[in-house]
Amino acid sequence: MSDKKAAAYRLGIVTLVVLAVLTALEYWVSVGLNGSPVFLLIIALIKAGVIVQNFMHIARLWREESH
């Protein structure tokens, strides 16, 4: 397996773990803290940021194109 492919798999696994942990935290906040809207919004924004960064490749918008 190439280094680039291995890095992509690692990124996918790390993203999966981060989103799973954030989802568990979200569940805990909704059950344990009676669904505090502030905490739920913060967690949702973090999850959205992880998804945008890793799956939508938003960082490419600010990189200079190489020809």
Pick 1 or 5 by higher pLDDT: 5
Q: Report in angstroms the alpha-carbon separations of 12 from 5, 19, 55, 62, 65.
A: 11, 11, 9, 22, 25
Q: What's the rounded Cα separation, in Å, for the pair 10 and 14? A: 6
Mind listing the pLDDT tens digit for each residue in 12-66? Answer: 899 999 999 999 999 999 888 787 889 999 999 999 999 888 877 666 666 676 6
pLDDT of residue 52: 87
pLDDT of residue 47: 94
pLDDT of residue 67: 55
Q: What's the rounded Cα separation, in Å, for the pair 61 and 59? A: 5
pLDDT of residue 27: 92
